[in-house]
Amino acid sequence: MKINSRWLLWIILLLPLVLCSCDLHKKLAEMHFKQGMKKFEAKDLAGAMDDFSGAIAQNPRFTDAYLYRGIVQLSLSNYTAAIKDYDKAIELNPGNGQAFYLTGAAELGLKDYKRAITNFTKAIGLEPEYAVAYNYRGLARANLRSWNDALDDFNKLVELTPEEATAYRNRAAVQDMLKEYEKALADASKAIELDGNDAFSYRIRGQTKALLKDFHAALADFDKVIELTPEAADAYAGRGGVKLESDDFEGASADLKKAIQLNPKSAPAFTGRGFLKEKRGDDNGALADFNQAVKLGPQIPETYASLGLLQYNLHDWRPALENLRKALELGYFINDDLRFYIWLIRSQTGEGEDASKELAAYFGSLQGEKATDWTASIAHFLIGDLPENEFLNQATTKAKRPSAIKGQICESFYYAGMKHKLAGDKQGAVDLFQKCLDTGDDNSFGYMSAKVELRELKK
């Protein structure tokens, strides 16, 4: 085919112009990007957004422009828009670990924890030493109450960043949930040593000390939390909880009132105030506060647990059962008490055989230490596999630490009393419930339940 020489001439003349035009677009894109970075560093997010968008308009394949526009969106809590930018960055460069990490961070903001974990895992696969990805994957796993997996991530984080307070602080929080209180105490103290102005580290240490029944030391840490964050509702709610456990009802009331003033939507504050009212004998007030806590924190299992346990003590069996099961469904992990109360409800409503089968199936599935610890002893006693005298003895011998002994003895008398009540032995039940109260452990569910049962049996 013969090519028209005139057209060929035009093509030759235009080609440099086309090439120059492409170069110009790239230069303009770079200029917008650099301006955007300066504005971003100056915290001019709106200006940075405009410049990163300008860079993308000039060069639609500018990966970093998508990444940083996504970071601006993330800073503005525009999580869905951020994810769209990160998706484009990944399309342009599938080997970019940062893009997967940032996608996970946005999904964490949307509380889509499973997807966040998937993307943090991809980031770690591309960059095995990506410390911040381990941190946020650990947080996502903790939000799903996958405590052992979260602990693995925070162990790795400590290995990668041994001088960072965050690594120890977050690991301490998970160790609390796994009842490794001594380890949690050491990690929280290490975090405070590295950063003495981190309120959350003091909060975790204070919480741990309270779990170890060292209430005086716990209060000192919560005082520091409030000094560092005087407008934080959860700080007052936490200190109020410690005061409640040490029976300083007036102090607890003042702190919980302050927490609710600072944040009228604080589920922990209403839960704490509900416990205060319950300990004071105001069951109707406690019921109202626990219901409000459930309303404010519908994804917090402890709110349902608190409500269900009070309903149990009020012999309101059906809603109690529903709320206890809901708490377990949402990942209640503090202890196995809820499973025992479910057994008690079913055993008192004509479903004793099925209740024992359910409890036996759960504890039969456990492995390691949990299969032989104190809670396993309670299960074996309730379903009839452990004689009462051995059970009462194990309340002491199976205590993991001295601070746990009194609570376990109280529990043992309560559950033994319930077995006597179910068998029709009223006097035997009364004697055991009284022994539970004699321990003085008024922070345990067993104590509060024994108090109710004793009152009913003495009518």
What is the helix, strand, coil percentage profile of the chain, to 5?
80, 0, 20
Q: What pLDDT was estimated at residue 7?
A: 45
Give the model's pLDDT for residue 13. 47
Q: Which residues contact 327 (CB under 8 A, 6 or more apart)?
A: 301, 302, 303, 304, 305, 308, 338
> CB neighbours of 252 closer than 8 A, spacing ≥ 6?
240, 241, 243, 244, 272, 276
> Alpha-carbon distance 192 to 202, whole Å?
7
Per-residue confidence (pLDDT) for residue 1, from 0 to 100? 43
SS3 at position 232: coil
Question: How far is the C-alpha of 82 from the C-alpha of 67, rounded, in Å?
Answer: 8
The 10 Å Cβ neighbour count of residue 9 is 10
pLDDT for position 310: 97
Contacts of the segment 356-365: beta carbons below 8 A, 24+ positions apart? 356/382, 356/383, 356/384, 359/383
- What the block records as the tokens of 412 is 């043992």
- The pLDDT score that the predictor gives to residue 30 is 81
Whole-number Å distance between alpha carbons of 422 and 353: 13
The reported pLDDT for the residue numbered 302 is 93
Mind listing the domains of the chain with CATH numbers? 30-94 (1.25.40.10), 368-459 (1.25.40)
The pLDDT score that the predictor gives to residue 169 is 97
Closest CA to 339 of 376, 373, 291, 384: 376
How far apart CA 37 and CA 250 sit, in angstroms, is 53
Say if pTM beats, i.e. exceeds, 0.75: yes
CA–CA distance from 249 to each of 224, 276, 280, 444 (Å)? Answer: 21, 7, 8, 16
pLDDT for residue 355: 95
Grouped pLDDT means (10 residues each) for the chain, 459 residues: 48 47 68 83 88 84 88 92 93 94 95 96 96 96 94 97 96 94 97 97 96 95 97 96 95 97 96 96 96 96 96 96 96 85 96 95 86 92 96 95 94 97 96 96 93 89
What pLDDT is recorded for position 24? 66
pLDDT at position 5, please? 54
Write down the pLDDT at residue 6. 52
